[in-house]
A and B are shown apart, each in its own frame.
Chain A
């Protein structure tokens, strides 16, 4: 709904938490704008997390205890850095495993033959 990538929003709806948790698991401390830019760069613009989806999800993950925050003053404004907690790391692993399983099931269901990559 809020993600406007090259992929349709229906396709990647529900993976936002997995993306954020896994990114923070790998990169450590990040702030909102940095997260959106990193995802955009990593996927060559194919997945662009919009701010409208990012911040509600970050707040929910923080409330659930999956993310911790640190605040830093940049001049007059406050910057909130997000880090993953132990519980968040566990959730990230579970979500990635679930997603891998989902892809396998979809491959089988849609009878997709893996293509030879151009890379």
Chain B
């Protein structure tokens, strides 16, 4: 049995590191294994370096780094399954919560807000980020990894926007408009042009792109179907009128010395102002 010298040991370890094996445990395992092979199998008077080069291909098919990749794959395999299960559960739960919340909202029953919030939060903050991680892992092509992950990120922003809008929270419109705009004008073209050249997925890519463009376009168009400018202006002037009349009434009430007659006149004026306001509202509705 031949003994390995310290220099030879350092040479093997450096070569293992240079070949892309970075897990220390794996480095030590391989070092010991290679040393054992050399110690037990090297023919008498055989050159160490020559024999080392000869036995190294036993450890891989193409390159030594395969061991590192395979180890990492096996180590994350357990998490991968847990992530897929979480994805399934959060997907189903968020869909159920959203449908239930929307039904309660339509029927004006209590609890709608909580269900919609939970559904939206689960979907946009758990389901979609998990989808990004899994797509990154599953997709083979780098371009697909990035494009699909970008899509899910845009979907996250849009759904958070929708959630904010339903809950009447601030920044809802900014999130929704930026999300939908990015989806229609950036993501769909990117998705189409990165996949359409591949013969095997060309048909599906075209169909998906058309569907996404149609849905995104429809949602985008809906942003313009809000209140008209005229109605908004009139509502604004009505609010101002209401504020000024309330202020006036407060002032009147604060005068202690004012005569009852005058006070009655002011009450009458208040009544007239109110009727005037109702009249304006009726006109607007017509």
> A: which residues have CB within 8 A of B?
1-2, 31-33, 50-53, 55-60, 63-64, 71, 74-80
Contacts and interface: CB of A to CB of B under 8 A. Distances in A.
Contacts of A75: 4, 9
Contacts of B4: 75
Given A32-B33, A77-B28, A60 B77 contact: yes
Given A52-B59, A52-B66, A52-B67, A77 B35 contact: yes
B82 to A, nearest CB: 13
B29 A52 contact: no
Given A55-B71, A60-B75, A80 B25 contact: yes
Interface size class on chain B is 20 to 34
A21 B66 CA distance: 23
Nearest to A60: B74
B60 interface: yes
A21 to B, nearest CB: 15
Contact of A78 (B32, B60, B71, B75): B32
Given A33-B33, A80-B32, 17 more contacts: A2-B61, A33-B32, A33-B37, A51-B58, A56-B73, A59-B25, A59-B26, A59-B74, A63-B75, A74-B35, A75-B4, A76-B9, A77-B9, A77-B28, A78-B28, A78-B31, A78-B32
A80 B25 CA distance: 9
Contacts of B33: 32-33, 51, 55
Contacts, number: 70
A77 B28 CA distance: 7
B36 interface: yes
Contact of A57 (B25, B30, B61, B74): B74
A79 B71 contact: no
A52 B60 contact: yes
B239 to A, nearest CB: 65
A52 B23 CA distance: 14
Contact of A56 (B6, B28, B70, B78): B70
Contacts of A57: 74
23 contacts: A31-B32, A32-B33, A51-B59, A52-B59, A52-B61, A53-B70, A55-B29, A55-B30, A55-B33, A55-B67, A56-B71, A59-B25, A59-B74, A60-B74, A60-B75, A63-B78, A74-B32, A74-B35, A75-B9, A77-B32, A77-B35, A78-B31, A80-B28
Given A52-B66, A76-B6, A77-B9, A58 B29 contact: yes
Contacts of B32: 31-33, 74, 77-80
Contacts of A32: 29, 32-33
Interface in B7-43: 9, 23, 25-26, 28-33, 35-37
